[in-house]
Amino acid sequence: MSELRRLAVLGSPISHSKSPLLHRAAYERLGLDWRYSAVEMDGDRLGEFLGGLDASWRGLSLTMPLKRDVLPLLDSIDEVAAITGAANTVLFGDGARRGFNTDVGGIVRTLHEAGVFEASRCVLLGGGATAASALVAMSDLGAREVRVLVRRPGAAAPLVELGSRLGVQVGEGGLAEFATIDRADLVVSTVPGGTDLGVAASAGLTSSAALLDVAYDPWPSPLAAGWIAGGGTVVHGLGMLLHQALLQVRIFVNGDPNAPLDDEDAVLGVMRAAVS
């Protein structure tokens, strides 16, 4: 039996999170006596929480609203976390806190699984931390133009700046534009699950672009339901959750998101079954 280690997913709200199901399935398959829980947490209490953890803790998964709040509390971050300005994973070891971003890899991997390998012209809904990861993922898929649609004017300014660093032309617009954009290769929505955008995508956009809706609860989201009704291609948000979680398991077990697990296909299989 392996040494008992503790992990958790932190965020608010957190009761709906499927991360415990994914991680517990993975560690059981790997034969690790590791405990993974869910903890309601906001940014104001995060520093105190981290300071109170003992040596049994191996790492944390982070969701809204902590992916940016955690950065000043870390000793180092990986390249992806640095470029996105967001970390969704913390690894403890050797007295240090190391931050990683597995959201980008999760988005790319689930799109590849759905048959989306290239996307030149993209639409991005939302302007938060997950949107930054989606923009980097779009860049990895070869995006040249990304239109970011947000409710509040100016909210996409950090993404416009990020796009300039990535060599991607990023422009901001209001949500009303969703009804007038006639084509794209990919649409990614990062708005919270259940959100009614108040506008429907054009028929041309629905028919030309695959939609990845990172929200997975409730499913289908209003956006995904409309896309499906229009005959469009929809990539389930659980796919991103699954693949970013697998990369987190790599980090917690091997210390490296690029180091595959032993019998990784089987591990991925039990994780997928846990939330299917």
Separation of alpha carbons 64 and 12, rounded Å = 6
Look at residue 1 in the predicted model and tell me its pLDDT: 46
Look at residue 12 in the predicted model and tell me its pLDDT: 95
Look at residue 192 in the predicted model and tell me its pLDDT: 84
Q: Mind listing the domains of the chain with CATH numbers?
A: 5-101+241-275 (3.40.50.10860), 115-232 (3.40.50.720)
Catalytic residue flag (residue 18): no
- Please count the residues of the chain: 276
Is the peptide bond between 65 and the residue preceding it cis, with omega within 30 degrees of 0?
A: yes
Separation of alpha carbons 147 and 150, rounded Å = 10
Given the residues 5, 67, 121, 236, the one annotated as active site: 67
Burial of 219 (0-12, 13-18, 19+ CB in 10 A): middle
Report yes or no: 169 and 145 within 8 Å, Cβ to Cβ. yes
Look at residue 3 in the predicted model and tell me its pLDDT: 77
Place of tokens 């609860």: 217
Look at residue 2 in the predicted model and tell me its pLDDT: 59
Give pTM, 2 decimals.
0.96
Q: Split the chain (276 residues) into runs of 10 and give each run's mean pLDDT.
A: 85 94 98 97 97 97 95 98 97 97 98 98 96 98 98 96 98 97 97 86 96 91 93 96 98 98 97 96
Nearest to 134 by CA among 47, 58, 62, 213: 213
Look at residue 96 in the predicted model and tell me its pLDDT: 98
